[in-house]
Structure formats: structure tokens, C-alpha cells
């Protein structure tokens, strides 16, 4: 298993084509708008080597008969499904944001059972590839969402709005199109492309699942902007070390050799894949989002102490309500995992109804927690001067009387970051649209 340092070093070996703010980035790892999201992924590697968290982060792979990071692991039983949620909650509480590795994990499990249904050739290719991913402890970009364009049209009517096979050669396929909202794409080693929806007869070119290196010729990534992203890494960031990341990924005639093409035109297996992935990832939100909410509740709680209102009954009621909403989401994720069923391929699936109910609540309850956090934080969350003003030798003492000490200022910045700053993209808006819009 890679250490965090080995993960960072491995990213530097790539020849990734990434654009940020209209410019090609020489080394993504060192870019101030990218680095916080790299740090969040690195935490998934670091926890596998920390004695305090190793039990959460490491599992035994029967495929390669070795310990693997849980983010490369197959769900062999219900305990693996629930262990994923506990790991995600711990990571969400540590980073306060999206750590980006779950889409690949949920994708590889969904592909394991979908390729099994497709047949021994497809499954054999996939398992051979997965063994390599586990051995090298790779970060996968699970690439599912197509741009779609006019939703009233089927993919063949607007092919440019979907990733598709444009050429079949004896030794592989050529892909063209794009995937959008790609979590952690620029921090990954490989892209695992999957269809984003169930497809009909005549739409076989869109039913493709395949893996390719992030720096394969023809792949271009463009980083999505986030509110206040120019603050990243600086004193007003709110979350100094960690951040999320979403990219547009363009595929301009990208060749993928046959051994990494897992599904090509098998509509039934593609439908199985989409369905299984949606279940896994909707349950995943019962892990990471409660972890992020822990951070927000903690910040709000500390601010009420700073404000001297912690003991007021209406404040206690609000903190209890925030906790109740958070644990509702977590409980549903755990319930979907604990009511799992075994697929004939040997991996376990979550309960689809409970996973969908979990995601349904995720589109609503965190918004209420944010509202209560903004209530408890007070108006200064939106009007506080910069930390540079607080540090100014002449202004500082006068501002401290008005704003309070450095602890209060940092807590306000953290609530701002998660409510409507750069952290709101992977936290709040992702609650609405991640793992499938409501
Ligand atoms: Fe993982 Fe949550 Fe980020 Fe999805 S939104 S990749 S489940 S941390
Ligand atoms: Fe997501």
C-alpha cells in the first residue's frame, strides 16, 4: 500500500494535461488551487499507515492475497459495506471536504458484478486489471456523468453530448466526448469510464466501460472553479489544508486497448452497472456527508461558546437538531449497507431503497444544518475583514475588539468555507447533485 508521500510522488510521474483559469499547468500537485484536493486524497493513503486508523483503512484482498487500501477493495460481505461508511465518516470529519476516492471504489465494485453478468471474457479482463489497481494502490477517477445537453433527446440524437465509441479496431476502441463533474480527476492515476444512464437498443456505442491512464493521449482536463478559490492555501481559506476538486474531462479520440475495455455494447450489463453504482454511491453519502457535518457542527458549537450563548436553551436545541439530522443520514447509509444482499458474482450490494432514501435526505438535511450553522455563527460570518487586517500592527488591536480573537475568526472562516465558500461545491451542491440528481 502506498504511503501519502509515495502517492504524491506517483502523481508527479504523470504527464497530465490540465488547464486552470485558461492556462496549462506544469505540475498539478504544486498548483495552489489543486494542492488542497491532493492533500485530501493523500489522507486516504496516510490513514492506512497510521496505527490509530489502520483498521478502518485496510482490508485483505483475496484477489491478490495481500492487504489493500479499502478504496481498492471489493465488498465481500455486509461488514465491508459498513466499514466503508465508517472510513468515509472518519475521513469526512478529518478533511471537512470530499476526499474523492469513493467514486472509483463504488465503480470497481459495480463493474465487478456487471462484467460477471456480461460473461467470463469481460470479467476476466476486469479482474486482471483490478489486480493491478490493488497492487499499485491506485486512485481512480470514476467517470460517469455525461454532459447530456438537451435531455429530451436520446444519446444517438446528440452524440457530441455523450462519451461514446467512435471506432472499433482489432486491438481496441477509440473514445470521443466528455465527462463532467469529475471528482478528483486530476488527482487520479486512471480514469474508469462508465455509462451514465441505462441505454436502449441502437445505443450500443454509448454502453462502454473501460480504463485508461489519466495522461493517455487525447485526454484533457479542465479544473472547475469554486467560490473564493483564490483564497486556497492562504489565511482566509477557512480550510487551510484540504479541499475538493471537480474537473471537465475531454476525450479527443482516445485509444483504449482491448484488455482495458470491460464492456462494449452490452446493454444489460451496462444497466446493471449503472444501477449498482447508484446504490453504492448513494449509500456512500451516508458516510462522507455526516463526517463533513461533524466539522460544521463542531465549528458552530465552538462559536456559541465564543459568543457566550452555549447554555441558552434555544442554542442547545439547534445543536441537537443539527446532530439529529446528521445521524439520520448516517443511519440510513448504515441501514442500506447492513441490509445488503450477495450478488452471484460474490460481491455484496446495498439495499437499493434505503440507499435512495439516504441520498434523498442528503439533498435536504445538510441544507438545514447549514442554515442553523449560519444562524449560530452570527452575521460576522459574512462581513468579517481579512485575516491580514486582523494581523495588521495598527488595525489589529482595534479589530480584535470588534471581531474577537483569532480562534473566533478562524471558526467563522470555516463556517463560511462550508456554507458558501469553496467547500460548498464538494459539500453542499454535491449533496444535491452527486451520485445522481434527485
Ligand atoms: Fe467520497 Fe463523498 Fe467525495 Fe463522493 S462526495 S467521492 S462519497 S467524499
Ligand atoms: Fe460525489
C-alpha pair distances (Å), 23 with each of 20, 178, 223: 5, 19, 10
For ligand 1, is residue 242 a contact (CB within 6 Å)? no
- For residue 438, name the pLDDT band (cuts at 50, 70, 90): confident
Write down the pLDDT at residue 437: 84
Write down the pLDDT at residue 167: 98
**103 CA closest ligand 1 atom index:** 6
Question: pLDDT tens for residues 246-288?
Answer: 999 999 999 999 999 999 999 999 999 999 999 999 999 999 9
Q: Is the pTM above the cut of 0.95?
A: yes
Write down the pLDDT at residue 436: 85
Write down the pLDDT at residue 87: 98
Write down the pLDDT at residue 247: 98
Counting ligand 1 atoms within 8 A of each CB, the residue from 187, 243, 285, 432 with the most, and so the one to mutate, is 285
> Which ligand is nearest to the Cα of residue 185, counting in written order?
1
Which residue's CA is minimally distant from atom 6 of ligand 1?
A: 100
**289 CA closest ligand 1 atom index:** 2
Strands laid side by side in the 23-24 sheet: 23-24, 18-20, 219-223, 246-257, 172-183, 164-169
Could you tell me which of 410, 71, 102 has the C-alpha nearest to residue 244? 102
Over range 58-82, report the average pLDDT. 98
Distance in angstroms (rounded) separating the CA atoms of residues 330 and 164: 36
Question: pLDDT tens for residues 101-139?
Answer: 999 999 999 999 999 999 999 999 999 999 999 999 999
- For residue 150, name the pLDDT band (cuts at 50, 70, 90): very high
Over range 369-387, report the average pLDDT. 97
Which residue's CA is minimally distant from atom 3 of ligand 1?
A: 98
Write down the pLDDT at residue 224: 98
Over range 298-312, report the average pLDDT. 97
Look at residue 22 and give its three-state secondary structure. coil
Write down the pLDDT at residue 433: 95
Question: pLDDT tens for residues 408-435?
Answer: 999 999 999 999 999 999 999 999 999 8
For ligand 1, is residue 434 a contact (CB within 6 Å)? yes
The string of DSSP letters for 138-207 reads: --EEEE------STTS-GGGSGGGS-EEEEEETTEEEEEEEEEEEETGGG-SEEEE--SS---TT-GGG-
What is the pLDDT of the chain when averaged over all its residues?
97
Over range 335-354, report the average pLDDT. 98
Over range 13-22, report the average pLDDT. 98
* Cell matching residue 79: 461488514
Amino acid at each position: 500500500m502506498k504511503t501519502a508521500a509515495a502517492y504524491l510522488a506517483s502523481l508527479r510521474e504523470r504527464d497530465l494535461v490540465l488547464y486552470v483559469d485558461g492556462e496549462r499547468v506544469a505540475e498539478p500537485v504544486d498548483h495552489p488551487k489543486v494542492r488542497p484536493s491532493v492533500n485530501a486524497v493523500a489522507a486516504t493513503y496516510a490513514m492506512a499507515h497510521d496505527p490509530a486508523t489502520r483498521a478502518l483503512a485496510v482490508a485483505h484482498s483475496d484477489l491478490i492475497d495481500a492487504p489493500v487500501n479499502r478504496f481498492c477493495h471489493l465488498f465481500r460481505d455486509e461488514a465491508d459495506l459498513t466499514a466503508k461508511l465508517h472510513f468515509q465518516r472518519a475521513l469526512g470529519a478529518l478533511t471537512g471536504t470530499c476526499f474523492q476516492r469513493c467514486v472509483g471504489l463504488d465503480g470497481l465494485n459495480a463493474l465487478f458484478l456487471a462484467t460477471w453478468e456480461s460473461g467470463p471474457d469481460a470479467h476476466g479482463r476486469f479482474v486482471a486489471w483490478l489486480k493491478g489497481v490493488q497492487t499499485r494502490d491506485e486512485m481512480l477517477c470514476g467517470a460517469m456523468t455525461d454532459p447530456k445537453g438537451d435531455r429530451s433527446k436520446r444519446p444517438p440524437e446528440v452524440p457530441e453530448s455523450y462519451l461514446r465509441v467512435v471506432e472499433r479496431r482489432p486491438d481496441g476502441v477509440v473514445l470521443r466526448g466528455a465527462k463532467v463533474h469529475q471528482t478528483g480527476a486530476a488527482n487520479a492515476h486512471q480514469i474508469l469510464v462508465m455509462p451514465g444512464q441505462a441505454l436502449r437498443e441502437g445505443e450500443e456505442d454509448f454502453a462502454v466501460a473501460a480504463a485508461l491512464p489519466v495522461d493517455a493521449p487525447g485526454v484533457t482536463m479542465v479544473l472547475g472553479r469554486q467560490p473564493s478559490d483564490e483564497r486556497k492555501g492562504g489565511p482566509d481559506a477557512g480550510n487551510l489544508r484540504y479541499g475538493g476538486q471537480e474537473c471537465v474531462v475531454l476525450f479527443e479520440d482516445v485509444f483504449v486497448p482491448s484488455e482495458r475495455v470491460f464492456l462494449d455494447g452490452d446493454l444489460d450489463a451496462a444497466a446493471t452497472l449503472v444501477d449498482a453504482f447508484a446504490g453504492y454511491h448513494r449509500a456512500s453519502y451516508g458516510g462522507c456527508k455526516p463526517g463533513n457535518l461533524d466539522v460544521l457542527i463542531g465549528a458552530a458549537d465552538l462559536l456559541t461558546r465564543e459568543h457566550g450563548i452555549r447554555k441558552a436553551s434555544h442554542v442547545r436545541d439547534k445543536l441537537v437538531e443539527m446532530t439529529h439530522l446528521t445521524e439520520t443520514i448516517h443511519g440510513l447509509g448504515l441501514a442500506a449497507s447492513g441490509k445488503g444482499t450477495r450478488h452471484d458474482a460474490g460481491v455484496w450490494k446495498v439495499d437499493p431503497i434505503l440507499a435512495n432514501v439516504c441520498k434523498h435526505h442528503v439533498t435536504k438535511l445538510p441544507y438545514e444544518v447549514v442554515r442553523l450553522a449560519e444562524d449560530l455563527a452570527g452575521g460576522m460570518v459574512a462581513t468579517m475583514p481579512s485575516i491580514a487586517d486582523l494581523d495588521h500592527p495598527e488595525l489589529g488591536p482595534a479589530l480584535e475588539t470588534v471581531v474577537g480573537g483569532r480562534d473566533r475568526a478562524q471558526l467563522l472562516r470555516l463556517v463560511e468555507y462550508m456554507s458558501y465558500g469553496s467547500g460548498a461545491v464538494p459539500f453542499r451542491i454535491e449533496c444535491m447533485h452527486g451520485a445522481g440528481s434527485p
